Structure formats: structure tokens, C-alpha cells
Structure 1
Amino acid sequence: MFEQFKTRATGVGAEVHRVVTCRDAVDFILGFLKKEGVSDLSGSYAVWADGPFLRGVDRELLKQVPGLSLEVTRERAAQAKIGISEMSFAVADTGSLVQDQSAVDQRLASSLTGIHVAVVPSANMVSDKTALFSRISPKTSRYIAFITGPSRTADIERVLTIGVHGPERLIILFVDELGGAA
């Protein structure tokens, strides 16, 4: 299923990676932030939305990263280059990510930044929407978001523009050690 997801997601412009441990995921993200030049300058910030994965990370280590904020506000996210958030599920047949984004910081980190890094438990990959809706219910989830690739739109002449209504880049990081939802 992972290969099918990766094929679909990369087909719409996402970058897909997979690591075994949570420590590998932190190393990947910190390396990515460094490579992308995250700093204390406006337009070079990174914001990381709260979630189960982040709660298990050494925050003192993260506080040492210049330009990285664990407090996601509308203003900070709008000035950030990179937003990091957690996704609940991945749908293999469409290459889509799914999250109940009732928490405002999740929406801000995934939609206002130029680059979105999505952390996903590998065990929460499902084959299709039917399988997804057997695990979540729109009746109990207030704000279900489906994200398929970087933001894109086209005008009447079919001129494609990337990043108009959201991030220009989507980096998806599957983490095997995270397990999955019940």
C-alpha cells in the first residue's frame, strides 16, 4: 500500500519519505529545517503544531533550533516558510492525507506556510475512502481535511499555478514507530 500511496502522492507533486523510529523522524525534520534555511528572520520561520508525536519529542532540543516556534499563531504561521503538523490517515488509492483539523494550529501550520511537512503514522494508511470512513466518522469529527499534493489551481485558459491557496510544497513523512489509531 505504501508504494501505491507514494506513486499517487508524487504524481501530484508531493515528496514522500518513510522512517522507522520517532528519533529518525526528528532527525529528518531537523535536517530538513536546516537545509531549507529556517532562521529567526521573518519569512524563514518554521511552526510546529501540537499533536501526539510532538508531545513525545524533547522540546528542549527543538527550542535550540533558531526560527522554530512550537506556538502557532495566525501571524507567525503567515510569516513562516515551513509548517509541520500531524495527519491522522493516508489514503493509498488517491495519495491523500486526512486529518480532523478542529485544532486551529493544525490548519494554520498546514495551510498558511509555503512548505507543509506532514507527519503520518505508517499504520494509519488505508486502501481507499471506504476503509477510511470505517475508521472515522464525519458525525464526530468537526473539520475533516483531505490534502492531496501541494496547493494548485488553474484559470480558464488552464494555466496551472502552484501555491495560491496553500503550500507550494508538501513533504510527507511516514513514521513506522508511531503505530496507529484504534
Structure 2
Amino acid sequence: MFELFKARAEAVGAEVHRVPAAAVLGKVVEIVGRERTSDEPGGRAVWCQGRIGQGLPDPGALAWSIPGLSFEVTRERAAASRVGITEFDWALAETGTLAQDATDPRLRLASTLPETHVALVRTSTILPDLECLLVRIDPRRLRYLALVTGPSRTADIERVLTIGVHGPRKLVVVAVDDPEETP
């Protein structure tokens, strides 16, 4: 199912990588390094850690490898960041869409305000389609479902497409295999 998800996500402008769990930090450092983050406003990075990030080194130890990185996600910090890193709960193979319980506003800030969004998702949570996702959701618990398909895009009445007007200009998906999975 990963290959279908990758093909569909790339078709709408996302960049997609697949890594084993042990390599996720190295891949994130590589991706963020290409964006040339710094501790200057407009050049920073914010990371709203979730379950995938729990196995990573102490946040202070990451500062040397990602300049300007903060795990404290505020509106001001996210707005001054070039890169936002978040984790998604599911992915939909049929459309190349990422899905996230974004009830926590920090997730929305880190995924929408920076110009580059790095989205981490477990390959084991790639579902065939939206219908399969909807049967897994408890609307009494989940207050804000975010669905992301490619970088932000909009077109005017003359059909002139513009990327990044209402969100990130670039979406980079890192699909993370659980230790027992093999690609």
C-alpha cells in the first residue's frame, strides 16, 4: 500500500521517503538541513513531537544538528519558522492524503505556518481510503480532523495556480517502518 500512497502523494507535489524507525532522525536532519534552518526569524524549525519522536534523543541533543530547532511550539515560534515537523496518525493510499487528529493547536501551527512541512507517519497506518479511516474515528474524542493532500495550493478565477498561499509551499512525507517491518 505504501507504493500507491507514494505515487498519489508525489502526483500532487509531495516529496515522499521511506525509512526504518532507526533512521528517522537522520532523515529529518537531512531534510531540514536542505532547508538551511537558522536561529534567525524566518529560518527556524519547530517540531511538535508525538509517538514516533518519543524514541529520539533528548531535545537538547538535537540542537547541534538542526539550527534554530525548538520543541516548544507557539504561534510566534511557528510563524518565525522555515520548517515545521509533525506526526500524522494515518495516511490514505487512494489519494496520497495524510490524516491527523489535530485537536492540539500546536499540530496545526507547526504544520500550516512554516513554508516547509515535514510530516512523519508510520507505514503501518497507511489505509486504503477515506472510508477505512472514518470507521476508525470516534467523533466524541476527535474534535479536529486534519486532512493534508500535497502542499498548499489555490487558483484564482483565471485558473492561475499558486503554491503556498494558505499553508506550506513544500510537503515532505517521511514514512517510518516499525522495527519488525521490511520495505
TM-score, length basis structure 1? 0.93
Give yes or no for contact 1:121–1:178 (8 Å, CA) kept in 2.
Answer: no
Question: 2:9 aligned with 1:43, yes or no?
Answer: no
Q: Which moved more, 1:142-151 or 1:32-41?
A: 32-41
Q: Which amino acid aligns with 1:45?
A: R
Deviation at 1:164, TM superposition (A): 0.3
Distance 1:143 1:156, change over 3 A: same
**CA positional deviation for 1:156:** 0.4
DSSP-derived class of the 1:156 partner: coil
Task: Tell me the distance in 1 between the aligned counterparts of 2:76 and 2:33.
Answer: 22
SS in 2 for 1:27: helix
Give me the whole-angstrom Cα distance separating, in 1, the residues matched to 2:20 and 2:50.
19
Tell me which stretches of 4 or more aligned residues in structure 1 moved more than 4 Å. Answer: none
Could you state the TM-score of these two structures normalised by the residue count of structure 2?
Answer: 0.93
Matches within 5 A, 1:1-182: 1-21=1-21, 23-59=22-58, 60-64=60-64, 65-177=66-178
Quickly say closer, same or farther: Cα 1:178–1:169, change in 2 above 3 A. Answer: farther
Structure 1 CA distance for aligned equivalents of residues 174 and 139 of structure 2: 25
**What is the deviation of 1:86?**
0.3
Residue 118 of structure 1 aligns to which amino acid in structure 2? Answer: A
Q: Percent same amino acid at aligned positions?
A: 49
The runs of 5 or more residues in structure 2 that have no matched partner are: none
Say if 1:119 and 1:174, in contact at 8 Å, map to a contact too: yes
Provide the rounded CA distance (Å) in 2 between the counterparts of 1:153 and 1:80. Answer: 22
In 1, the alpha carbon distance for the partners of 2:54 and 2:105 equals 17
> Unaligned 5+ residue runs, structure 1?
none
Which AA in structure 1 matches 2:70? S
Deviation of 1:38 (Å): 0.9
Question: 3-state SS of the aligned residue for 1:8?
Answer: helix
Paired AA for residue 102 in structure 2: Q
Rounded Cα–Cα distance in structure 2 between residues aligned with 1:159 and 1:27: 37
- The count of residues paired between Structure 1 and Structure 2 equals 178
C-alpha distance after superposition, 1:102-159 (max 9, x if no partner):
1111100000010000000110000011111122233321100100000000000000
C-alpha RMSD of matched pairs (Å): 1.3
- Quick one: distance in 1 between partners of 2:179 and 2:124? 8
Contact kept in structure 2, 1:138 and 1:144, CA below 8 Å: no
